[in-house]
Amino acid sequence: MELWELASVARAWRRMACGGEVSSQVPGVREEIVESWIRSHRAGVDPYGRPSSSTGQAVRSSKLEGRGQALLEAGVLELLRLERQFSGQEIVVILADAQQRVVEAHYCGERSAVWELARELAGVNLAEERSGTNCVGLAFRLRRPTEVRFYEHYARYLHRWAAIAAPVFHPERKKEVVGALAVMAFRKPLPKQAVSLLGEAAGFVQQRLSRLDALGEALVLEEFARCQARFPDRVIVALSAQGKVLALSSSATKRLSEAVASRTIGASIGSWQALRLEGGFPPKGKHTPSEVVLHLKGRDGDAVFSGTAYPVLNGADAESEAGFVIVAAQATSQKKSKSGESCWRALYGIHDFVGRSRPVMKVLELARKVAAYDWPVLLVGESGTGKELLASAIHSLSPRASGPFVALDCSAIPQELIASELFGYEEGAFSGARRGGKLGKIELSHGGTLFLDELADLPLNVQAALLRFLEDKRIVPLGAQQAKEVDVRVIAAINLQPALATAQNKLRFDLYQRLNVFQITLPPLRERLDDIPLLVEHLLQQSGLGQIRVSPQTWEVLKRHPWPGNVRELRNVILRAALSARDGVIEPSDLVFDTPPARPEPQPPASHRARRLSKEQILLALEQCGWNKSHAAKRLGVHWVTLYRALKRWGLERTPTGAEPASSDGREYETGPGFHSLRQHLSIAVPEPVSELVERRKPETSN
């Protein structure tokens, strides 16, 4: 730009900035610049304003989602390459996202006052209606490389810069601009090679975006293949992050017909009436499964499926989704007893498990992880800790969310009826049998989840039958001649430690091993006292008593109570207190506990605590920890010195002769003479499979 041209543009800008009329033609000013000035003026942009940034620095990847994150990943390499090309010069190279925000800004010169000016650009929104005429805003509007020099900028703070920007287009939708690269020179004309280098860099960014899209789609298709292998009869749909249909399961293809399915793949979800989502696309950014409703219009008429959309995280960046896999209800179960199936539904979700303490957050994190898999889960916790609620939440997050959730309390059914209740029976199986037979809880759970509460109260012979079902997924109802295949996920719960239950012969060791794929231990309320205010507020709101308040003194009393009944006891105490509260405030006098509040007791010395440990407790802990004394001390809740004192007092300071050494991970060793010595000390019954193993491993004695 010549000096006379620069002076002409400066005079025109001053007239415009002072409120003068801006016509469509201004001598010495390009037409596209004048039109942009008019749009900026109408948008109310202050020509004397400073750059407005919400962050004051570059918008980093943690604040970007979807296409913006991919753009940053693809564009940073080109920014670094341009920075090397203009090294040592007072030049800034920037990357803007689809919202025309500067997400990255690199200064190529030495650290100086210009560097401070360049930092002001980071995080600025360069949209024309926000910042006035500039190269990025014009490049987005004109969809081509655009240069804006000095006084052509609408905002005064940009008058010292000569800049050029090149748009970056969507890899598939060629007219959609998803970002821009720009080069800005301070008080100097742009280098001659800036135009060619910038156009080449924008092309490379677009190519990388295309490769990232292909990688993300490959990750989604990989997860789709895994889901299809686990659920061959389900309607499953794979979607890209932008909502493009990538794949359909064989069950979905059969319902839509081959011709319709081939046209649907590659199109956006909802663009064809044959396949659409009710309520819109799954929410992005949460990275958690969400419930969706899928509509299929095929050869057999309309079908509606409730299902779960699982996000597939991008391999290169775990902060964004590469796409979604939607797993709907099992197609074969749609025609079954519609009247009886609707009552077996999960009543709770993951948000119903109230708490923010560290133990609760660990439980919820593990529950979200295990929900995506179809393996058994064993919940361990005291009565009233919320085992059934958590089981229902796991089911609601799983691909079986649209299927039935059947809960069975093994302690509430007489032992002589538990087998028929679990496996069902045929007509005439026994006297008094219902005409037509009865479906068992396992068969009612087909396509969903079976929750077995109080597993240790299940008779051992029924435990053996349950173990066989877990192995081959087939059941034989009482009086039936043929086996039935049933697709069920089992979640079991027990209110005492599994090792103690197996030692007391209440739980078969082999069944415990089969169910213990995922074990989640629920903390008692006394270990999550910080959650009491949240739980109280939730219980009052749930009971329609949200106006009731709790005094500060009452909180202290509630936190001192041991809560042997856990959340169930807390509910009873709070509801009783709410009914007797005066002026809508619960005071300590309103609290009525089933057991008196705990008083702090002085801690006895270590020697006294050692004497409190019984011989059976010590030996059981040592057995569970493979005679690892440090692990056994932690299990008993005492210091290792305390345990050694007790061992010395009982004469057990050494491992029984012949026992195998303890493993580093603390697993049990149940063979060898040491195990027989332990059985004699404990005088307990060992489950049958373990006993047989011990007999086979006994050393032979010579006569």
Whether residues 371 and 272 share a domain: the answer is no
The reply to whether 193 falls in a domain is yes
CA–CA distance, 448 with 399 (Å, rounded to integer): 9
CA–CA distance, 670 with 681 (Å, rounded to integer): 14
The reply to whether 344 falls in a domain is no
Nearest to 346, CA basis, from 445, 482, 240, 246: 445
The DSSP secondary-structure symbol of 605 reads P
The reply to whether 702 falls in a domain is no
| Predicted local confidence at residue 558, as pLDDT | 92
The reply to whether 85 falls in a domain is yes
| Predicted local confidence at residue 68, as pLDDT | 57
CATH of the domain at 155: 3.30.450.40
Q: What are the structure tokens assigned to 675, written together?
A: 């195990």
Whether residues 551 and 686 share a domain: the answer is no
The string of pLDDT tens digits covering residues 276-319 is 777 666 666 666 677 777 888 776 667 777 777 888 877 555 55
Whether residues 410 and 361 share a domain: the answer is yes
Q: Which residues of 447-459 are buried (b: 16+ CB within 10 A; e: fewer)?
A: bbbbbbbbbbbbe
pLDDT at 483 over 90: no
20 vs 245, residue with greater confidence: 245
Report which listed range, 65-69, 427-431, 498-502, is most confident: 498-502
The reply to whether 217 falls in a domain is no
Beta strands in 340-476 (DSSP E): 377-380, 405-409, 424-425, 438-439, 449-453, 474-475
Whether residues 543 and 517 share a domain: the answer is no
Mean pLDDT of 469-475: 89
| Predicted local confidence at residue 387, as pLDDT | 92
Whether residues 614 and 585 share a domain: the answer is no
Percent of the chain's residues with pLDDT above 70: 80
CA–CA distance, 530 with 635 (Å, rounded to integer): 24
Whether residues 144 and 158 share a domain: the answer is yes
| Predicted local confidence at residue 521, as pLDDT | 93
pLDDT at 1 over 70: no
CATH of the domain at 550: 1.10.8.60
CATH of the domain at 318: 3.30.450.20
Domain region containing 94: 3-203
Average pLDDT, the chain: 77
Nearest to 351, CA basis, from 285, 288, 282: 288
598 vs 557, residue with greater confidence: 557
Q: What are the structure tokens assigned to 354, written together?
A: 């109230």
Domain end (from 521, 536, 566)? 521
Q: Kindly report which listed range (172-186, 258-272, 387-401) carries the lowest average pLDDT score.
A: 258-272
Whether residues 109 and 133 share a domain: the answer is yes
pLDDT at 649 over 90: no
CATH of the domain at 397: 3.40.50.300
pLDDT band at 680 (very low <50, low <70, confident <90, very high): very low
The reply to whether 655 falls in a domain is yes
| Predicted local confidence at residue 692, as pLDDT | 43
Q: Kindly report which listed range (14-28, 620-634, 638-652) carries the lowest average pLDDT score.
A: 14-28
| Predicted local confidence at residue 450, as pLDDT | 93
Domain end (from 183, 203, 223)? 203
**Residue whose tokens read 């919202």:** 99
Domain end (from 503, 521, 539)? 521
Q: To which H or E segment does residue 415 belong?
A: helix 415-423
Number of domains in the chain: 5
N-to-C CA span, the chain: 112
- DSSP secondary structure, 149-205, as one string: EGGGSSSGGGTTEEEEEEEEE-SSSTT-EEEEEEEEEESSPPPTTHHHHHHHHHHHH
Q: Kindly report which listed range (115-119, 381-385, 680-684) carries the lowest average pLDDT score.
A: 680-684
Whether residues 534 and 512 share a domain: the answer is no
The string of pLDDT tens digits covering residues 54-100 is 433 443 333 444 455 677 777 788 888 888 888 888 888 888 888 88
The string of pLDDT tens digits covering residues 327-363 is 876 543 333 443 334 457 777 778 888 888 999 999 9
Mean pLDDT of 542-554: 87
pLDDT at 198 over 80: yes
Q: Hey, is 207 helix, strand or coil?
A: helix
The reply to whether 517 falls in a domain is yes
pLDDT at 686 over 60: no
Contact 133, 110 (CB under 8 A): no
Report which listed range, 179-183, 330-334, 542-546, 664-668, is most confident: 179-183
117 vs 473, residue with greater confidence: 473
Q: Kindly report which listed range (317-321, 324-328, 448-452, 678-682) carries the lowest average pLDDT score.
A: 678-682
Q: What are the structure tokens assigned to 630, written together?
A: 């440090």
pLDDT at 380 over 90: yes
Q: What are the structure tokens assigned to 521, written together?
A: 């231990």
Whether residues 669 and 571 share a domain: the answer is no
Q: Hey, is 92 helix, strand or coil?
A: strand
Percent of the chain's residues with pLDDT above 90: 12
The string of pLDDT tens digits covering residues 585-619 is 999 888 888 665 444 444 455 445 455 667 777 77
Largest Cα–Cα distance in the chain? Answer: 120
Whether residues 10 and 155 share a domain: the answer is yes
Whether residues 139 and 89 share a domain: the answer is yes
| Predicted local confidence at residue 615, as pLDDT | 74
617 vs 154, residue with greater confidence: 154
Whether residues 47 and 129 share a domain: the answer is yes
CA–CA distance, 464 with 466 (Å, rounded to integer): 5
| Predicted local confidence at residue 283, as pLDDT | 66
The reply to whether 219 falls in a domain is no
